[in-house]
Amino acid sequence: MDHGGAQGRHINIPIFIPHMGCPNTCVFCDQRRISGACDPVATDNIRETIEKYLTTSSSEDYLEIAFFGGSFTGIPRYQMMAYLDVAREYLEKGVVSSIRLSTRPDYIDHEVLDILGRYGVKIIELGVQSMDEDVLARSKRGHTGEDVIKAVKQIRDFGFEYGIQIMPGLPGDTLEKTLETANKVVEMAPSQVRIYPAIVLKGTEMEEMYKAGSYTPLTLEEAVRWCAVMVPIFRKAAIRIIRIGLHYSELLEDAVVAGPFHPAFGEMVEARVILNRIMGIIEEDGLMGCSGIEIHTWKGALSKTLGHKKVNIKALKEKYGYSYIKVREEDLLPGQVRVFALYGGDRL
Ligand code: SF4
């Protein structure tokens, strides 16, 4: 069976590898707490997980084995290679199409990249979090922005595809610093990014900081606003945004102490991106004074354009005093919106 057809679904086979002996002390990380509760992943479990996904996928699907958990290349070499051995076996059989993993920028060097290349790894994701030195230091990341640039250069030289994860709202962060981080990420030209606003989790140093009053997480509104400014920066640079906000799970919800955690966070950000675009057009075209507007959005984007519980419509009415707003899906390119003035309910 040959997996990897262009018509099928993209299926990630997630394999969580907690970093038990991690020598770092990132203030937001709860892996120490989580990994205390579980044993190292056995290769048999990895095999089982892959087999389970294979039984529910079709030959058209593009399957990707994804090792995640933070710092795959920081675990003992023999263990890392044992995990990769299993993955490579499925890659060579042609039943999966790709292997990806996530790691820290300072756990990248020529030796490790050479190993990853030999095992057929395709995509390396770097947990960067911020490119601001003060934010990195206050978050006790243990690496600098320079380390990130160096790691990206090596990864690129080896010919891997790479992604970058950022975490707005860490200690000392501001909107300005986050935007600078976004712009520096664009300069590093990854093919993809993930945006995870910082959340205070149980058992982390950030929880202690939060309780002591030395750290205040972003509010949900701030996080949505910050992310909605970042998203167009990445889209303009043709960088794929593969995730905005943490995946919801009951386990995670139990672990959240404070911060902008919401199951529909990504959709809230997408809706705000559209709202910002609509407001931009209103201001540019001088549509502030009319009694109403008609918005045209692309096919499939009606609910995003209205916003959750019509929050976008309410915001527009409140800001510009419109009495009525019509929204229609039209034959437009994804991301494209048009706004027309309405007078007495009709377009002129
Ligand atoms: S987030 Fe930091 S502390 Fe946690 S596993 Fe990764 S490197 Fe270690």
Residue 162 has pLDDT above 90, yes or no: yes
Alpha helices (H) in the chain, listed in sequence order: 31-36, 43-55, 77-93, 110-118, 133-138, 145-157, 175-188, 205-212, 220-236, 250-255, 265-285, 302-306, 311-320
73 Cβ below 6 A of ligand 1: no
pLDDT of residue 281: 97
pLDDT of residue 1: 40
* pLDDT tens digits along 163-218: 999 999 999 999 999 999 999 999 999 999 999 999 999 999 999 999 999 999 99
* Numbered ranges of CATH 3.20.20.70 in the chain: 10-263
DSSP 310: G
Residue 22 has pLDDT above 90, yes or no: no
Q: Distance from CA of residue 256 to its chain's centroid?
A: 18
The minimum-distance atom of ligand 1 relative to the CA of 104 is 7
29 Cβ below 6 A of ligand 1: yes
Per CATH, the number for 10-263 is 3.20.20.70
Provide the percentage of residues in the chain whose pLDDT is more than 90: 83
Which of 20, 24, 33 to probe ligand 1 with, by most ligand atoms within 8 A of CB? 24
CA 108–ligand 1 middle distance (angstroms): 15
pLDDT of residue 18: 81
Provide the percentage of residues in the chain whose pLDDT is more than 70: 93
pLDDT of residue 167: 98
Residue 120 has pLDDT above 80, yes or no: yes
Lowest pLDDT segment from 56-65, 174-183, 264-273: 56-65
22 Cβ below 6 A of ligand 1: yes
Residue 87 has pLDDT above 60, yes or no: yes
pLDDT of residue 346: 63
Residue 23 has pLDDT above 50, yes or no: yes
The pLDDT-based confidence of 285 (bands split at 50, 70, 90) is very high
